[in-house]
Every structure is written in structure tokens, then in C-alpha cells.
Structure 1
Amino acid sequence: MTATGASENVTARGGPGGGPWWWARRRSAVLDVLLALASTVECMAEGIPFAHTSGMPVAVGVLLGLVAGPVLLVRRRWPVVVVLTSIAVIPAEMGALLSIVGLYTLAASHVPRRIIGLLAGMTAAGTVVSTFFSMRQDVTVQPEFHPPAWFVVVMALAVGLVLTAPPVLWGLYVGARRRLVESLRERADGLERELSLLADRAEERAEWARNEERTRIAREMHDVVAHRVSLMVVHAAALQAVALKDPEKASRNAALVGDMGRQALTELREMLGVLRTAEGAVGRGPAGSDEPERLAAVASRVSRQAAGSAAPASAESAAGAGPAGAPADAAEPAGEGPWLVELGELVEQSRAAGMAVELSVQGDEGESVTADDAGPRYAARVEQAVYRVVQEALTNVHKHAPGARARVRLALRVGEVAVQVENGPSERGATDAGLPSGGNGLLGMRERVTALGGAFVSGPTDAGGFRVSAVVPVAAAA
């Protein structure tokens, strides 16, 4: 908008206009052309009596009307110019249409109110003065008409008010309504943009939730299956080594490997069944509408299945100790588990696979206690995280340091649980047992611990072994 009140050439929808020059629409240009023609004809017609009255040639009066009338063409671009022109021709008693349309356009434009009031007042004053002298002259030339002195003044004021107030008030109303519509449209556009941003953010959060739940499912499946399969490979290697020397021990190892394989297959089948069931549920509902909740439910069920892995683990220990290698059923602990009380069974599994493992548990005051006193005494998430750290650490010892001695230290404190698993160098002179590794074991341990607000540290020791340490706060999980 310029200083004269011109507005940008925009359409009603806020986009660029499709009309010529400064008109937003072609019909607006046609309307202004017609108004300019009517104003020109009026001013030229009124210029003839003005020329006679003032003693000027008629051509001058017609030329004055020809110059003033077409100014209405620029009323949308420069409304102030139109009003000033109408004020200038008031003494010539011409331009009534020019004044009315100019005041309306000025009041409806974005010109400041003080300028509108000033120009409207100047127009009213000029009209009153011009009407007063014209009527006074008419009264003078008609001796039979003798109105009171106040009559001419009142009539002049009435004419000035009638020619000025209605177009100004109507223009103010139209301008206010137009600005209101524009503000509502801008607000609607802003809300639409905001809703679009919220939808994008919701989609990002949903995608993040899906990725997080997929990662959680993968971590749970890794913890449940990888440990058991690693023990199977270790027992198979031991079976190959003693097959000819000790047939009885080879038979026990073979039975143990078979039991482990069947249990691993059962767990895999159950987990895949959970995923297939979840996919079928999604197929019955709107596509993608509840995927984060579905993944959370899947992860929860997989986690509960992971909790049951400690019970078959005790069967492995019994099979390794029994003369015939037959598995014995073990009762699953109450709750979601696995619990810290099952660490003893986990250590026995590694011992049955030939690893020398030492387990030490310290109580609140630093005194030594047994593994049976370890739980359940904390939140399920805390005990699960600590159990999985120990499980994955022992699995890594089987994979990458066969024959190495390992030590598991567990500290049960009032506000936190600390665990450390450390192994020495491989006594067989090998650094790796050749077991496949996805490289996600340490990452999964770190994710479990940090998700509860704990600290996780891992790295090689000076003696050539490896150490894994974790501290899990109790209050965060609760």
C-alpha cells in the first residue's frame, strides 16, 4: 500500500489479480471505466453553466469537466487523488459523482482514519460553503421569495452532510468487513498450515515409535535366542572333541544340544506367531491406524516370553548334571521376570558348557549373600535389565573368549543395582570361537541400561580380557 492508500493487486483469495494494471478483476476495471465516463459527462455538462456564470468561454468549462471526470479511473489506486480533485472542483459546482465515489473508495481503503476524517471534513466544508453562496445568490435574484436568515445556513449544512456522510459511513463499513474477511482468511490459512505441521510431527512421532518398538522386539528376540543358540554351538564343539574319547559324555552333550535346539525352535515359533497374530489384527483394522500400539503389545508379549527363557534354562542345567541328560521341568517364577534370583541358574548353564564362572553377590551393607537372596526385590524392569546384561556378557565370553574364566559381581544397594562381568584371556589361545555375531549385543545392553537412567561401560582390561559394568537406579524404573 502506498501513501495515497493504494492496495496491492490481489484477488479475493489473496493471490495475484487477473485484471489489467491495478485492477484485481476485469469486472472491476469495467465498473471504473463506466463510472469515469458518467463522471466525465456530468462534469462537462456542469462546466457549461459554470463558464457562463464566471464569464469564461464554454470550451474552458467543458475542458475542465473533461479533465476532472476521468480521475475516477484511478480511484482504487490513488483514492486520495480522487478526493482532492473533487474538492478542487467544488467551487465550479461540478463533480458530485466524483465526490461521492471518491469518498466511498477512500473510506473503504487502508488509508489512516485521520486522513479520511480530514479529507471528508474538507469536502463537507467546501460543499457547505459552495451551497451557501449558491442558494444565497438564488434567493437574491428572486424578490418574491424571502426565507428566514437561518434557512440558507441549514440547507447548506444539510446538503453538505447528505453528500458527505453516507458515502463515508458506507465505505468505512465495507472496509471493516473486507478487513475482517481477510483476517479470517489469514487465520484459516494459518490454522491449515499449523494442522499440516502437526500432522507431519504426528507422522514423525509415529515413525519414531514404530522404529523404537521394532528395535525393542529385535533386542528381546536376540536376548532370548542368541544365548541358547550360542550354548548349543559350544556344546556341539565339545561333543566333537570328546566323541571318540568319552562316548558317555558325548551322549550327554548330544542330548543337551538336542534339548536346547528344540527349546530354541519353540521360542522362535512362539515369537513369530506373536508377530503373525499382530499382522492379522492390523489387517482387520484400518491400515497403520494402531501400528505403534500393536508394536508395543508385540514387544510386551515378546518380553514376557523372554521372561520364560530362564525356566527352560534350568532344565539345561539339570540335563547336564543328570546321568541320562534328560531335561527336568522348572517352575517359572511369578511376575514378568527374569529375576535376579535366577542368575544362579544362568551361571550353571555356562558352567555346564565348560566355562569357569564365579558368582558373588553383595547386600545393602556390603556383606556377601547368596544368589537366592537377590530377588525379586526390585522393579521388574530393573531386574530384567541386570539379568540381560549378565546373560549377554556370558554369551559374549562363549563367543569371543572360549575357555576363559569369568567373574560375575552383583551389588544390591538401596537406590541402585550394580553388576560387573569380567573375563580373562582365552586359555585355549584363540580369540574367537567362530560363532556368528550381529554386533548388537553391547548396543542392546547399553540401550537397556540407559533407558532406565543408568550408566553402562564396557571395554578391554589390562590383563587381555573384557569387562562389562552397569549401574541401574531403582527409583527411575519405579
Structure 2
Amino acid sequence: MTSTGEEQGAAGAGRDGPLWWDRRRSAVWDGGLAAVSAVECAVEGIDFAHEAGIPVFVGMLFGFVVGTTLVLRRRWPIAVVLIGIAVSPAAIGFLLGVVGLYTLATSEVPRRITATLTSMSLAATFVVMYLRTRGDVEADGTLVIVLSVFVAVALTVPPVLLGLYTAARRRLMESLQERAASLERELSLLADRAEERAEWARTEERTRIAREMHDVVAHRVSLMVVHAAALQAIALKDPAKAVKNAALVGDMGRQALTELREMLGVLRAEVAKPALPVPVALVGSFEDGPSLGELEALVGQSRAAGMVVELDVRGPRPSYGAEVEQTAYRVVQEALTNCHKHAPGARVVVRLAHRDGEVAMQVENGPSDGEAAEPGLPSGGNGLVGMRERVLGLGGVFVSGPTDEGGFKVSAVLPGSGRG
């Protein structure tokens, strides 16, 4: 079964026609053409009957049957064209030949077959016209040939060219529709991927905010608890030292509140801009976060809380990115917080080394002093996880675990330029 341009155009609208037609409208259209062709051929069959010396009724019936074959043009376009060529000597089937050639050109029949049948139709029409014109027109042979060629070309070439144009236009429309559908699928896929990336970025940002909140609250509040316990123990024995510890508790509380307000302020500012699919404003908070230059003050706070801390810095400090500075600070801060929670009274060593293209840090504590009381600080178990995520997120290396002496060690190495 072959397909024509009209069939292909109807395919997209759904099949609802009888037999080989895709649409009822196509069946009605072909039926109408076949009826007109049958009437035309039946009338032309009268002259054919006179010329052939057969009864008029037989000639009309023959023409009627030939004309009705046009209804098969979508199903068998080659057969319709061959019938038109076969009856051309009887001067029957003008509409049949023209429509048959047009349908053949619009179908998916190989072009070599279309060219062969077109040539055959052209030659048959020329021969018939030449023979009939030579007997009816008193003119020289050249005029007869020219007239025959003109009629043959006029009845053959235009329908074929129109059919080829229609087929090419149909293929172009199908190609454009396919490209539009493909583009729509790609856009849908890109939108899905963008949504996935946005969701991933939102999750990453929420995780980072949670780490920031944990670092700020856990470290400051842990020191406040330690100082409060010391304040309770020495309040009556050493009022001057108690006053000093109370001032330290107040300072730490204010620092914690200040950092919390800064982070909450950034979050509120981001809520005011709902058009942004990913919370990007907090990225700028790296510029305002803590840095390695504040490491001495951080260690001093732990010393003020009664911890024995040694700070060992080696190598000249180069210029690091704000993200690297804050991450290194937070690793040391969280490690010191864990020492306050789990190793009260232990000696702690904080080592910081500036090397070519990277910064290394290590916080190691010895075994806990058995005489020191546990501060009773809660632990959610997220400290080491948060440190590891920070370091690995910048392309660094993170290692933690117990030491042979019964203590604990946290080590990290960060590339100086940020993400590796």
C-alpha cells in the first residue's frame, strides 16, 4: 500500500475513515472525483463506440468502469496511471490521467517509477494526439508535431510538477513538526534538569545554613555552659574571678546573638526575593564570616574557659579565598567544641601549617582528665559530619579518629584557591 500527501496530512489528525482512507472527508472527496471521472469517461465512450464500431451502450459502460477506477488512486496510484495510459488511444479519461499523475507524484512511490510512468504517459499522449491531429487538421507535419508536443506536455507535466511540489511541502511540514516536537521535548528535559539543579542547590544551601547555625550555637553555647559551671563553683570563693567569668559569658552570648542575627537577616532578605529559584544571597556571607586571622581569639576563648590549649602556626600566611578561610576556622572551632564536650580537662594542641597552595590544620587532644567533671553538653552527632562536608565540598581531605594515647585527632587539608 502506498501513501499520498493527503493521507500523510490526515494521519496526524487520527484515523476515522473507511477502508484505506484515513479520514471520511478523503473518502468522500475521492468518491466525488471518481463519479465525475465516470460520467466524463461514459460520455467519451460514445465517440469511442462509434469509432470502434461497437454498441454505444458498451462504449459508455466501458468508459464508466474506467472512470470509476479513480477511486483507487490513494491505494494503487501506479495502477490508476497505467489504466489512464492504456485507455489513452480511445481518447478516454482526461480527468483520470491528470489526477492519477498528480497522485503518483505525491505518493511515496520511488522516483524512478514516477519518472518512468510520466515518460510513458507523455509518449502515449503525444502519439495519440499526433495520429488524431494528422487526420483532422490540414497542416504540415511540423505544426502537427508542435501541437502534439504542446498538448502532451500540458496534460502530463503540470500535474506531476504540482504533485512533486505538494509532496516536498508535505515533507517539509512533517520535518518542521518533528523538529518542533523534538524541541519541545528538549525544553521539557532542560526544565526538568533545571528544577533538579535548583532543588539540589536549595538542599545544599539548607545544609550549609544548618552547619553555620550548628557551629555558631554549639561553640558559643558550649563555652557559655563551661563558664557558667566555673562561675557557679567559684562564686563564693573568688568573687573577682566570678565577675570576670560572668563578663565572658555575656560577651559570648552577645557574639552568638550577633552571628545569629546576621544569618537570620540574610535569610529574611532572601525570602523577600522569591523569584530566585536558588538561595544565592547567603554565598556572599563568606566575605563577612570568620577567618584564620581570628584563630588566636578563638583559642583564647577556650583558654579563658579553663582549657589548656597550645596553638602552633607554621609558615607565612598567604591570601586565601574567603570560603577557605571560613572553612578552616569552622573546622578548628568545631574541634575545640568537641574537646569541651567530650574531653574536659584534656590538653589540646591546635596546629596550622601554611604550605604551597594549601592550608593544613590539626586539632588533637589528649585523654580526658579524670578529675574534671563532664559539662553535660548535648551532642547531636553532626559535628564531624559537618566538618567533613565542608572540607570535601572544597576539594580537601578530612581525617578524624582516636589516637594511640587515648585522645582524639581531627585533621584537614584545604586547597588555597577553594574548590579543587
What TM-score do you get using the length of structure 2 for normalisation?
0.88
Contact preservation (8 Å) 2:121, 2:156:
yes
Which residue is equivalent to 1:289? 275
Give the letter for the 1:157 counterpart. V
2:108 corresponds to: 110
The alpha carbon displacement at 1:376 in A equals 6.1
**Residue 418 of structure 1: which of 355, 360, 380 is its match?**
360
Cα offset, 1:394, TM superposition: 0.7
Task: Give CA-to-partner distance per residue, 1:53-75, whole Å, 9 cap, x none.
Answer: 33444444333323322222222
Quick one: percent identity of the two aligned structures? 64
Give the secondary-structure state (helix, strand or coil) at the position aligned to 2:215. helix
The corresponding residue for 1:342 is: 294
Q: 5 Å matches for 1:85-164?
A: 85-136=83-134, 138-139=135-136, 146-164=138-156
**From 440, 448, 455, the counterpart of 2:382:** 440
Q: Does 1:383 align with 2:322?
A: no
CA distance in 2, matches of 1:432, 1:180: 81
Which residue number in structure 2 is paired with residue 313 of structure 1?
none
Give the secondary-structure state (helix, strand or coil) at the position aligned to 1:172: helix
Distance 2:127 2:373 in 1: 112
How far 1:449 moved relative to its partner?
2.1
**Aligned letter for 2:107?**
S
Higher relative contact order (CA 8 A, sep 6+): 2
Q: Provide Cα deviations, 1:268-303, integer angstroms capped at 9, x if missing partner.
A: 2343233223323x2xxxxx32243xx3223423x4
Which residue of 401, 411, 422 maps to 2:343? 401
Secondary structure of the corresponding residue to residue 92 of structure 2? coil
Matches of 1:106 and 1:432 in 2, distance apart?
96
Find the counterpart in structure 2 of residue 459 from structure 1.
Answer: 401
Residues 431, 82 of structure 1: CA spacing in aligned structure 2 closer, same or farther, 3 A cutoff? farther
Q: Is 1:182 matched with 2:166?
A: no
How large is the RMSD of aligned CA atoms in angstroms? 2.9
Matched residue type, 1:290: L
Q: Are the aligned partners of 1:232 and 1:261 in contact in 2 as well (CA < 8 Å)?
A: yes
Once the two structures are TM-superposed, the CA of residue 204 in structure 1 deviates from its matched residue by 2.6
The letter of the residue matching 1:93 is: A
Q: Deviations over 1:360-387 (max 9, x none)?
A: 2222xxxxxxxxxx64644433332222
Q: Distance in 2 between matches of 1:277 and 1:443?
A: 28
- The 2-side partners of 1:410 and 1:124 are apart by 96
Supply the AA of the counterpart residue of 1:296: V
Separation in 1 of the partners of 2:319 and 2:172?
Answer: 66
* 1:306 and 2:289 are equivalent in the alignment: yes
Does 2:339 align with 1:353?
no
For 2:120 and 2:373, locate their aligned partners in 1 and report how far apart those are by CA, in whole Å: 101
- Tell me the CA shift for residue 100 of structure 1: 0.4
| Aligned pairs for 1:5-44 within 5 A | 5-6=3-4, 9=7, 11=9, 14-44=12-42
Gaps of 5+ in 1: 140-144, 283-287, 308-337, 364-373
- The one-letter code of the counterpart of 1:362 is R
Partner SS, residue 280 of structure 2: helix
Letter in 2 for 1:361: V
Deviations 1:197-235 (A, max 9, x none): 223323333333333333333323333332111111222
How many Å separate the matches in 2 of 1:102 and 1:111?
13
1:274 corresponds to which residue? Answer: 266
Letter in 1 for 2:298: L
Q: Equivalent residue for 2:245? A: 253
Amino acid at match of 2:67: G
- Distance in 2, matches of 1:12 and 1:464, equals 82
Q: Which residue of 1 aligns with 2:412?
A: 470
1:406 alignment partner, SS class: strand
Alpha-carbon spacing, 1:430–1:86, altered in 2? closer, same or farther (3 Å): farther
In structure 1, give the amino acid aligned to 2:307: M
- Tell me how far 1:393 sits from its aligned partner: 0.8
Q: Is the 8 A contact 1:6 1:109 kept in 2?
A: yes
Q: Which amino acid aligns with 2:275?
A: S
Q: Is the 8 A contact 2:321 2:418 kept in 1?
A: no
For structure 2, the 5+ residue unaligned runs are none
Alignment partner of 1:211 out of 190, 194, 203 = 203
Distance 1:16 1:9, change over 3 A: farther
* Superposition deviation, residue 105 in structure 1: 1.5
Q: Residue type of the partner of 1:148?
A: D
Question: Contact conserved, 2:324 with 2:418, CA < 8 A, in 1?
Answer: no
- Give 2:65's aligned residue: 67
CA distance in 1, matches of 2:280, 2:187: 27
Out of 352-361 and 119-128, give the one that drifted further.
Answer: 352-361
Amino acid at match of 1:82: V
SS in 2 for 1:421: strand
Give the whole-Å Cα distance in 2 for the aligned partners of 1:88 and 1:461: 103
Alignment of 1:225-264 (within 5 A): 225-243=217-235, 246=238, 248-264=240-256
Q: Which stretch has the larger CA shift, 464-473 or 16-25?
A: 16-25
| C-alpha separation in 2, matches of 1:199 and 1:398 | 48
Length, aligned pairs only: 420
Distance 1:159 1:8, change over 3 A: closer
Length-normalised TM-score, structure 1 = 0.78
Q: Structure 1 residues 429 and 65 mapped into 2: Cα distance closer, same or farther (>3 Å)?
A: farther
